[in-house]
A and B are shown apart, each in its own frame.
Chain A
Amino acid sequence: MWNYTDKVKELYTNPRNVGSISDADVVVEVGSIVCGDALKLYLKIDANDVITDAKFETFGCGSAIASSSALTEMIKGRTVEEARKITNRDIADFLGGLPEEKMHCSVMGNEALDKAIAKWRGEDISHSEDTDGEIICHCFGVTDKLIRKVISENKLKTVEDVTNYTKAGGACGSCIPRIEDIISDELKKFAESADRPAEKKPLTNIKRLQLVEDTIANVIRPELQKDGGNIDLVDIDGKKVYVALRGSCANCRLSDLTLKNFVEDKLREFVEDDMLVFEAGRD
């Protein structure tokens, strides 16, 4: 059985904002009964672009109902502009998280919202390839546009991820090669955009110290503590970081070389890519 959070359970048991709005300003449908989940969203939007009411009807599993309920709660009282910024991540976070395999439920909510806003603005949402993208997965009617959006918003890396988030690839599988192409294409784009701001300004000493401390506290120490060890920052001199090992780390699998590599890798990842690590008292 799924490991649903209490919030998800609460919202599929007692979903908020179920039903229709007879004088809604915009009504959209996403998904279909064939695919196993569908959401119909009704919005009331006032002259100041504020979403004054939101209601939904959903065909789908517990997490689809909970995601729909979450979405309506999140957008009520917000301006269209604010609502537009909501991602599927936000919906999942509102629910305290969703099982990976159920992330597509949050994506469906987000899709409905995007579609509703586009429709309200009078944008063309008919199914042309220019506006909606090209259908990649015919089993679930998923477009490349949606797949790309979900990849970049959720930093997805594998076909399995994409299937969990959009269902694409989850039936006959014939679209998997195309999904793979899209993933590598998006990763390339991501790498290029990461390359560009290479004119990063050098860090000030204070900023660097802060980042080192944060990385040790939030990334490195928790990892070492899993093995019963610990790490303390002793000194920092420019890009040289001196650390001391505590507890069982001193003789665990991460000592010496592996430790140094691990800590250095993390600092290089999160601080600057030419950080150097030394064990205090050994050098």
Chain B
Amino acid sequence: MQVYLDNNATTMVDPEVLEAILPFFTGRYGNPSSIHSFGGSVGSEIQKARERVAGFLGADHDYEIVFTGTGTESDNLAISGTIAYYTNKKHIITSRVEHPAVVALCNKLERDGYRITHVPVDRNGTLDLEYLMDSVDDDTAIVSIMYANNETGVIFPVEKIGAFLRERGVPFHVDAVQAAGKVPIDVNRINCDLLSISGHKFHAPKGVGVLYVRRGTRIRPILYGGHQEKGRRPGTENVPGIVGIGKAAEMAAAHLSRPGEMKKMASMRDRLEKTVLGMFKNSMLNGSAENRVPNTTNIGFEFIEGEAILLYLDQAGVSASSGSACSSGSLEPSHVLRAMGVPFTSAHGSIRFSLSRFTTGEEIDYVISVIPGIVNRLLEISPYWDSAKQEPAPVNLQAKT
């Protein structure tokens, strides 16, 4: 059986979305900027997609929707575009657990002379709201905080932050890439000025993102060229991608509003999580159990290593991911797990399972059935576990060499 539980990495294109975009590769390949109707008629499809995405995000005006290439580009446009406008302000606030799109950009800006505040999270991955509020000052150009964390699914208090920043008059960007399609997003309830999403995380194709830019928000483009997207993101439109994200947004909104739909996903996730945690006393949940998107769980297995778990899962047909060092090619556990202070005994053995609306109960059953064999086999190989006694082996865990 093949089971895909890595939907925070990317999702399947919904068959209906695929159907909606195919004509724009074949018969309707015109350029929306053209005068002739062959191209021009495509423009109205872009407009339709814009309205659908505006509806999905609760935006007041469709022109607040800017189509980009990726979530990463949206994040970059939001932050770089804002500070390029407010050139006299040199302070940026973000968190310690952001996506690399924000982390790497802020690191670069720090080298360029910006002061960056990295708001910490606690052991549950919950943001220190007070720390954030205390950090805001007259020099703050923008605050950029994610809506939900990609590794743990933990949701941040973006509405409280938004209300506070609105009063202080500080631009607020929300990286909602991991929230889109999983929780209802309402830019007016959040009070954000900018918000990023990415199509392929909610069943649109890869290569299309959105930056919501509230009416009156000042940003400068990071690309220069044509007039597209009112000059905020020039370049010939990715018409199939835009049509796709429009359709996917409409479908996601429908799923989110259908009663019980998200509960069903959450209960499958919870069943997986509870069963696995119950099987191994040396396993733990990474991140708060309460305040989470419904599709994500991050489980830490003590004394075994994440990449090995993933390789064994892969052989059993299960796709998941890990915040462990080895699987990513870096040498340390992910910055998210480190910021949360996940104990070193399990930080290297953390596995993320992320579901989608296509995940079935049988798939969850199957995953539950293969995990014990995998974990027990790796515990058998591990020097830190005594398989005969079923307890941690008496070795010096911190010895270096």
A and B bind = yes
A149 to chain B, nearest CB (A): 13
A244 adjacent to chain B (CB < 8 Å): no
- The dominant DSSP class at the B interface is loop
Give a binary string over A110-121; 1 marks a CB under 8 Å from any B CB, 0 the rest: 010000000000
| CB <8 Å contact, B401 and A61 | no
Residues of A within 8 Å of B398, CB to CB, are 32-34
Residues of A within 8 Å of B395, CB to CB, are 29, 40
Residue of B nearest to A141 (CB): B400
With A18-B381, A58-B381, A59-B382 already in contact, the answer to whether A33 and B401 are too (CB < 8 A) is no
Interface residues of B toward A: which range?
20 to 34
Give a binary string over B292-305; 1 marks a CB under 8 Å from any A CB, 0 the rest: 00000000000111
Cα-based distance from A195 to B345 in the complex (angstroms): 49
| CB <8 Å contact, A58 and B401 | no
A170 adjacent to chain B (CB < 8 Å): yes
Cα-based distance from A58 to B308 in the complex (angstroms): 11
Give a binary string over B270-310; 1 marks a CB under 8 Å from any A CB, 0 the rest: 00000000000000000000000000000000011111100
A230 adjacent to chain B (CB < 8 Å): no
Interface residues of A toward B: which range?
35 or more
B74 to chain A, nearest CB (A): 27
With A36-B325, A141-B400, A170-B332 already in contact, the answer to whether A57 and B382 are too (CB < 8 A) is yes
A76 adjacent to chain B (CB < 8 Å): no
A163 adjacent to chain B (CB < 8 Å): yes
- Pick the contact of B401 from A12, A102, A127, A170 — CB < 8 Å? A127
| CB <8 Å contact, A143 and B401 | yes
| CB <8 Å contact, B305 and A60 | yes
Give a binary string over B390-401; 1 marks a CB under 8 Å from any A CB, 0 the rest: 000001111111
List 16 additional A-B contacts (Cβ < 8 Å) besides A36-B332, A132-B401, A170-B330.
A12-B308, A15-B381, A32-B398, A32-B399, A33-B303, A33-B345, A36-B348, A60-B308, A60-B326, A64-B308, A65-B381, A111-B401, A140-B400, A146-B401, A167-B331, A170-B331
List 16 A-B residue pairs with CB atoms under 8 Å apart, sorted by A's residue number: A29-B396, A30-B401, A31-B401, A34-B400, A36-B324, A38-B383, A40-B395, A57-B381, A59-B303, A59-B383, A59-B384, A61-B326, A64-B305, A167-B331, A170-B330, A171-B331
